[in-house]
Amino acid sequence: MKIEYEDSFVKIASLLGGEDYVKVARALLNNENATDEEIASATGLKINSVRKALYDLFGRSLITGIRVRDLKRGWFVYRWKAQRDQVDGFIETQKKKALERLKQRLSYENEHQFYSCDTPTCKKLTFEEAMEAFFKCPTCGKNLNLIDNSEFKNALEWKIGQMQEEALAK
Ligand SMILES: [Zn+2]
Contact 105, 156 (CB under 8 A): yes
How much is the pTM? 0.68
Which CATH architecture does the domain made up of 8-82 adopt?
Answer: Orthogonal Bundle (1.10)
Residues lying with their CB under 5 A of ligand 1, a single-atom ion: 117, 119, 122, 137, 139-140
Break the chain into its structural domains and give their ranges: 8-82, 90-168
Distance CA 106, CA 139 (A): 27
DSSP symbols for 72-115: TT-SEEEEEEE-GGGHHHHHHHHHHHHHHHHHHHHHHHHH--EE
The parts of the chain modelled with pLDDT lower than 50 are: 1
Contact 164, 99 (CB under 8 A): yes
Strand ranges for 20-92 from DSSP E: 63-69, 76-82
Q: How many angstroms is it from 140 CA to the middle of ligand 1?
A: 4
Task: Determine the 3-state secondary structure of 13 from DSSP.
Answer: helix
Q: How many angstroms is it from 105 CA to the middle of ligand 1?
A: 24
Q: How many angstroms is it from 117 CA to the middle of ligand 1?
A: 5
